[in-house]
Amino acid sequence: MGEYYYFSGRPEEAAKEMEPYLTSQDTALRLSACLVYAYANLATDHIRLARHALTEMEKTFTDIHADEDAPPELKEMSAFVSTTAAVLLHLPIKNDRDRAFEPASLMLLPPGLRFFSCYVQAHYAYLQGEYGKSLGIVETALAFQPQLYPIPSIYLRLVAAMDYMALKNSEKAKEQLLLAWELARPDGLIEAFGEHHGLLGGLLEATLKKDYPEDFKRIISITYSFSGGWRKVHNPDTGHDVADNLTTTEFAIAMLAARGWTYQEISTHMGSTVNTVKAHMKSVMSKLGVEQKSDLKKYMLK
């Protein structure tokens, strides 16, 4: 239920449901609870509680790997959780977590987590600028699912959309986003769309805003809540000053501009006029205190 509340955009209820399990004697359950609890508290701006859960994950990882008798499945579970937390916060992966991406490690996870781990690997490849590799991980994972796992599939489709946007193939990106939306909409699993808004480069505005206005509004609300907490961990821990004073539309346009998209390309993609894009960019430059589009990169996501 905690997972369902989280992935359906109800972080307060997710945190409440998960809190009793933060001290569970069942280590796997405790790790799962910590991961969901951490991200739920990012979305509700309870940064101290989020950091507490992240610290507990690291402590559990250290304890498990210091125990020679710990089951290998539990060791890989702890590596998976620790790596997931780091990658999705865009923090460096510690060297002793690298093995979480190895095929042998992957196979020790339960099937659902195995496919979510593929998403984490694809997201990590995306952050390294390896868009082709990221797409390969997504396509392989989706092709080999023995059955449909909706949440990993939604996240995999969204990272594929991110890859295609980075490759300037907006039509393929829209296709992947709509496939994710078809999976998410029946059960209201919209959290992932809010989490990935900035990385999708205006794709939600171009694809969902017109046909699903109420859902779009809720996604944008999730975006503001989640990204605010996310920055409060990411920015101080990395020294990367991701902008926090832009509207979601301004951020999407600035992301595309920072990647070299022209005003005409941005306006075509987002279904607006060139003058509208220019007006948003003028506001962006003023808010960030920059004069050149090349200066935007340090305030944007990768």
Q: How confident is the model at residue 301 (pLDDT cuts 50, 70, 90)?
A: confident
How large a percentage of the chain has pLDDT more than 70?
Answer: 98
Residue 97 has pLDDT above 70, yes or no: no
**Mean pLDDT, range 228-255, rounded to an integer:** 91
Q: Which two tokens stand for residue 90?
A: 């865009």
Q: pLDDT, tens digit, for every residue of 99-148? A: 677 877 888 999 889 999 999 999 999 999 999 999 999 999 999 988 99
Given this model, what pLDDT does residue 104 score?
79
pTM: 0.93
Given this model, what pLDDT does residue 98 score?
63
Residue 152 has pLDDT above 90, yes or no: yes
Q: How confident is the model at residue 191 (pLDDT cuts 50, 70, 90)?
A: very high
Given this model, what pLDDT does residue 232 score?
94
Given this model, what pLDDT does residue 18 score?
97
**Mean pLDDT, range 219-227, rounded to an integer:** 95
Given this model, what pLDDT does residue 270 score?
87
Q: How far apart are CA 202 and CA 252, in angstroms?
A: 5
Q: pLDDT, tens digit, for every residue of 54-81? A: 999 999 989 998 998 999 999 999 999 9
Contacts for 164-172: CB closer than 8 Å, 24+ residues apart: 164/135, 165/199, 165/200, 165/201, 165/203, 166/126, 166/129, 166/131, 166/259, 167/131, 168/261, 168/265, 170/203, 170/206, 170/269
Half-sphere exposure of 56 (CA within 13 A, CB side): 23
